[in-house]
């Protein structure tokens, strides 16, 4: 039971990472990655996934301070969940049509 409790965050975060990498690879091969007109908007779009991971880690650290959860497992899960939310933000932002 202890081995399952230790390895569960790694398995969940790894599954999320594989899902995101496969989706991004598929979009790259189809040529449908998000493109923005201005350089600043493109930089923001490209950094949504890493920003999601950093915010997820920060939230996980705060949760581990207030709840009796291991810091190591919450940081792993926080980064994985942040990766998933960053990917969803990337998808939503890349679909928005710019109107000038």
What confidence tens digit (pLDDT) does each residue in 78-91 have? 999 999 999 999 88
What's the confidence (pLDDT) of residue 98?
54
Residue 71 lies in a domain: yes
Residues 45 and 27: beta-carbon distance below 8 Å: no
Looking at residue 37, what is its pLDDT? 81
**Residues contacting 56, CB < 8 A, separation 6+:** 78, 79, 80, 81, 82, 83, 85, 86
- Is the pLDDT at 97 greater than 90? The verdict is no
Flag whether the pTM goes above 0.85: no
Digit-coded pLDDT (tens) for 13-53: 999 999 999 999 998 898 888 888 888 888 888 888 999 99
Work out how many domains the chain is built from and give that number: 1
Domain with 36 in it: 2-95
SS3 of residue 55 by DSSP: helix
pLDDT at 100: 47
Chain CA centroid to CA 12, Å: 13
Establish if 100 belongs to a structural domain: no
- Tokens 């920003």 belong to residue: 51
């Amino acid at each position: 039971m202890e081995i399952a409790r230790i390895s569960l965050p790694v398995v969940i975060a790894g599954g999320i990472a594989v899902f995101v990498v496969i989706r991004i690879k598929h979009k790259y091969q189809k040529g449908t990655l998000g493109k923005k007109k201005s350089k600043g908007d493109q930089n923001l779009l490209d950094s949504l996934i890493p920003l999601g991971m950093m915010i997820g880690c920060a939230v996980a650290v705060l949760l581990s301070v207030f709840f009796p959860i291991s810091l190591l497992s919450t940081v792993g899960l926080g980064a994985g969940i942040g990766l998933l939310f960053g990917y969803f933000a990337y998808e939503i932002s890349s679909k928005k049509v710019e109107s000038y």
